Protein backbone atom coordinates (compact mmCIF):
# COMPACT_ATOMS: atom_id res chain seq x y z
CA UNK A 1 0.00 0.00 0.00
CA UNK A 2 1.36 3.40 -0.91
CA UNK A 3 1.56 5.52 2.21
CA UNK A 4 2.98 8.84 0.94
CA UNK A 5 3.96 10.65 -2.23
CA UNK A 6 6.74 13.20 -2.55
CA UNK A 7 9.31 14.80 -4.81
CA UNK A 8 12.93 13.68 -4.53
CA UNK A 9 15.64 15.13 -6.78
CA UNK A 10 12.98 16.26 -9.26
CA UNK A 11 11.31 12.82 -9.51
CA UNK A 12 7.86 11.92 -8.23
CA UNK A 13 8.36 9.21 -5.64
CA UNK A 14 6.17 6.95 -3.58
CA UNK A 15 7.09 5.67 -0.15
CA UNK A 16 5.55 2.27 0.24
CA UNK A 17 4.75 -0.19 2.95
CA UNK A 18 6.56 -3.47 2.17
CA UNK A 19 6.38 -6.77 4.10
CA UNK A 20 9.44 -8.46 5.54
CA UNK A 21 11.07 -11.58 4.19
CA UNK A 22 13.15 -14.26 5.84
CA UNK A 23 16.72 -14.18 4.71
CA UNK A 24 18.82 -17.29 5.07
CA UNK A 25 20.04 -15.97 8.43
CA UNK A 26 17.32 -13.86 10.05
CA UNK A 27 14.17 -11.80 9.37
CA UNK A 28 14.85 -8.54 7.60
CA UNK A 29 12.33 -5.70 7.44
CA UNK A 30 11.98 -3.77 4.22
CA UNK A 31 11.43 -0.23 5.38
CA UNK A 32 9.56 2.38 3.31
CA UNK A 33 11.75 3.26 0.37
CA UNK A 34 11.91 5.54 -2.63
CA UNK A 35 10.49 4.17 -5.85
CA UNK A 36 11.08 5.76 -9.25
CA UNK A 37 9.61 5.04 -12.68
CA UNK A 38 13.00 3.54 -13.66
CA UNK A 39 13.23 1.27 -10.61
CA UNK A 40 9.87 0.63 -8.95
CA UNK A 41 11.26 -1.40 -6.02
CA UNK A 42 13.08 -0.52 -2.79
CA UNK A 43 16.83 -1.05 -2.38
CA UNK A 44 16.04 -4.00 -0.12
CA UNK A 45 14.80 -5.80 -3.26
CA UNK A 46 18.40 -5.68 -4.52
CA UNK A 47 19.55 -7.06 -1.16
CA UNK A 48 17.16 -9.99 -1.70
CA UNK A 49 18.35 -10.46 -5.30
CA UNK A 50 22.02 -10.36 -4.23
CA UNK A 51 21.65 -12.64 -1.22
CA UNK A 52 19.61 -15.22 -3.15
CA UNK A 53 21.63 -14.82 -6.39
CA UNK A 54 18.37 -14.36 -8.33
CA UNK A 55 20.05 -12.84 -11.35
CA UNK A 56 21.96 -14.04 -14.40
CA UNK A 57 25.33 -15.25 -13.10
CA UNK A 58 26.72 -16.13 -16.54
CA UNK A 59 29.80 -14.19 -17.65
CA UNK A 60 29.63 -11.73 -14.76
CA UNK A 61 31.93 -8.76 -15.20
CA UNK A 62 32.44 -5.52 -13.34
CA UNK A 63 31.72 -2.19 -14.99
CA UNK A 64 35.41 -2.21 -16.04
CA UNK A 65 34.98 -5.65 -17.68
CA UNK A 66 36.91 -7.55 -14.98
CA UNK A 67 35.62 -11.14 -14.60
CA UNK A 68 33.64 -11.72 -11.40
CA UNK A 69 32.61 -14.94 -9.66
CA UNK A 70 30.39 -15.03 -6.55
CA UNK A 71 31.07 -17.98 -4.25
CA UNK A 72 29.07 -16.59 -1.31
CA UNK A 73 27.07 -13.36 -1.28
CA UNK A 74 27.90 -12.68 2.38
CA UNK A 75 25.89 -12.00 5.51
CA UNK A 76 23.36 -9.17 5.59
CA UNK A 77 24.50 -6.40 7.93
CA UNK A 78 21.78 -4.68 10.00
CA UNK A 79 24.22 -2.19 11.52
CA UNK A 80 26.26 0.69 10.15
CA UNK A 81 28.73 -0.17 7.43
CA UNK A 82 28.54 -2.11 4.16
CA UNK A 83 25.33 -4.03 3.44
CA UNK A 84 26.93 -7.50 3.31
CA UNK A 85 29.96 -8.76 5.19
CA UNK A 86 32.10 -11.84 4.62
CA UNK A 87 31.24 -12.13 0.93
CA UNK A 88 33.48 -14.58 -0.93
CA UNK A 89 34.20 -13.28 -4.41
CA UNK A 90 36.77 -13.65 -7.14
CA UNK A 91 37.41 -10.40 -9.00
CA UNK A 92 39.89 -10.90 -11.80
CA UNK A 93 42.52 -13.25 -10.39
CA UNK A 94 42.07 -12.23 -6.73
CA UNK A 95 39.80 -14.01 -4.22
CA UNK A 96 38.23 -11.81 -1.58
CA UNK A 97 36.39 -12.48 1.70
CA UNK A 98 35.18 -8.97 2.33
CA UNK A 99 32.26 -6.53 2.18
CA UNK A 100 29.71 -5.57 -0.46
CA UNK A 101 27.63 -2.39 -0.63
CA UNK A 102 24.39 -2.22 -2.64
CA UNK A 103 22.50 0.74 -4.10
CA UNK A 104 19.88 1.27 -6.78
CA UNK A 105 22.06 3.89 -8.47
CA UNK A 106 25.82 4.25 -8.19
CA UNK A 107 25.50 7.94 -7.25
CA UNK A 108 24.06 6.86 -3.87
CA UNK A 109 27.62 5.96 -2.81
CA UNK A 110 28.36 9.69 -2.80
CA UNK A 111 24.90 10.82 -1.63
CA UNK A 112 25.33 8.63 1.47
CA UNK A 113 28.90 9.97 1.89
CA UNK A 114 30.48 6.51 1.89
CA UNK A 115 33.44 8.04 0.03
CA UNK A 116 34.23 9.98 3.23
CA UNK A 117 33.69 7.12 5.69
CA UNK A 118 36.69 4.84 6.40
CA UNK A 119 34.22 2.12 7.47
CA UNK A 120 33.56 1.57 3.75
CA UNK A 121 37.26 1.11 2.92
CA UNK A 122 36.60 -2.62 3.42
CA UNK A 123 34.08 -2.68 0.56
CA UNK A 124 35.38 -4.86 -2.26
CA UNK A 125 32.35 -4.62 -4.59
CA UNK A 126 29.64 -2.04 -5.20
CA UNK A 127 26.47 -3.67 -6.59
CA UNK A 128 23.95 -1.40 -8.31
CA UNK A 129 20.91 -1.67 -10.52
CA UNK A 130 22.12 1.19 -12.74
CA UNK A 131 25.57 2.76 -12.95
CA UNK A 132 26.58 6.30 -13.81
CA UNK A 133 29.79 4.88 -15.25
CA UNK A 134 31.85 7.13 -12.97
CA UNK A 135 34.49 5.63 -10.67
CA UNK A 136 33.42 4.73 -7.12
CA UNK A 137 36.10 5.77 -4.63
CA UNK A 138 36.73 4.73 -1.03
CA UNK A 139 37.79 7.24 1.64
CA UNK A 140 41.37 6.05 1.10
CA UNK A 141 41.12 7.07 -2.57
CA UNK A 142 41.12 3.58 -4.08
CA UNK A 143 38.55 2.54 -6.67
CA UNK A 144 35.86 -0.06 -5.97
CA UNK A 145 34.75 -2.41 -8.76
CA UNK A 146 31.05 -2.10 -9.59
CA UNK A 147 28.60 -4.81 -10.69
CA UNK A 148 25.53 -3.63 -12.61
CA UNK A 149 22.40 -5.78 -12.26
CA UNK A 150 20.29 -3.92 -14.82
CA UNK A 151 19.30 -6.45 -17.49
CA UNK A 152 20.37 -9.41 -15.31
CA UNK A 153 17.39 -9.77 -12.95
CA UNK A 154 14.99 -12.48 -14.09
CA UNK A 155 11.50 -11.20 -15.01
CA UNK A 156 9.88 -13.91 -12.87
CA UNK A 157 11.69 -12.58 -9.78
CA UNK A 158 10.41 -9.05 -10.41
CA UNK A 159 6.87 -10.38 -10.77
CA UNK A 160 7.08 -12.62 -7.70
CA UNK A 161 8.45 -9.82 -5.52
CA UNK A 162 5.79 -7.40 -6.72
CA UNK A 163 3.02 -9.96 -6.09
CA UNK A 164 4.30 -10.77 -2.61
CA UNK A 165 4.64 -7.10 -1.74
CA UNK A 166 1.04 -6.49 -2.81
CA UNK A 167 -0.23 -9.53 -0.92
CA UNK A 168 1.93 -8.80 2.15
CA UNK A 169 3.32 -12.34 1.85
CA UNK A 170 6.51 -13.59 3.44
CA UNK A 171 9.29 -14.35 0.96
CA UNK A 172 11.06 -17.59 1.88
Report the pLDDT value the prediction gives residue 105, as an integer from 0 to 100.
Answer: 95
Calpha distance 121→119 (Å, rounded): 6
Calpha distance 128→9 (Å, rounded): 19
Tens of pLDDT, residues 124-154: 999 999 999 999 999 999 999 999 999 999 8
* Residues making up the chain, counted from first to last: 172
pLDDT band at 172 (very low <50, low <70, confident <90, very high): low
**In 9-155, where do the E strands start and end?**
11-16, 21-22, 27-28, 68-72, 75-76, 84-91, 94-105, 123-130, 136-137, 143-144, 146-148
Which has more confidence, 143 or 18?
A: 143
Report the pLDDT value the prediction gives residue 137, as an integer from 0 to 100.
Answer: 98
Query: Which three-class secondary structure state does DSSP give residue 164?
Result: helix
Task: Report the relative pairing of strands 123-130 and 146-148 from DSSP bridges.
Answer: parallel
Report the pLDDT value the prediction gives residue 170, as an integer from 0 to 100.
Answer: 54
Tens of pLDDT, residues 81-110: 999 999 999 999 999 999 999 999 999 999
Q: How far is CA 123 from CA 17, 43, 55, 88, 153, in A?
A: 30, 18, 21, 12, 23
Give, for 4, the enclosing helix (H) or strand (E): strand 2-8
pTM equals: 0.75
Report the pLDDT value the prediction gives residue 162, as an integer from 0 to 100.
Answer: 78
Report the pLDDT value the prediction gives residue 23, as an integer from 0 to 100.
Answer: 33
Which has more confidence, 115 or 155?
A: 115
Asked whether residue 4 carries a pLDDT value surpassing 60, the answer given is no
Asked whether residue 19 carries a pLDDT value surpassing 50, the answer given is no
Amino acid sequence: AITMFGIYQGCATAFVEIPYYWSSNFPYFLFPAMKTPEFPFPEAFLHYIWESKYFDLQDLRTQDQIPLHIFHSGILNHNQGPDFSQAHLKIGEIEWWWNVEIHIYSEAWYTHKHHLDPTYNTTVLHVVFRSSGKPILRADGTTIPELVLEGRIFEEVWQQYERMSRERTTIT
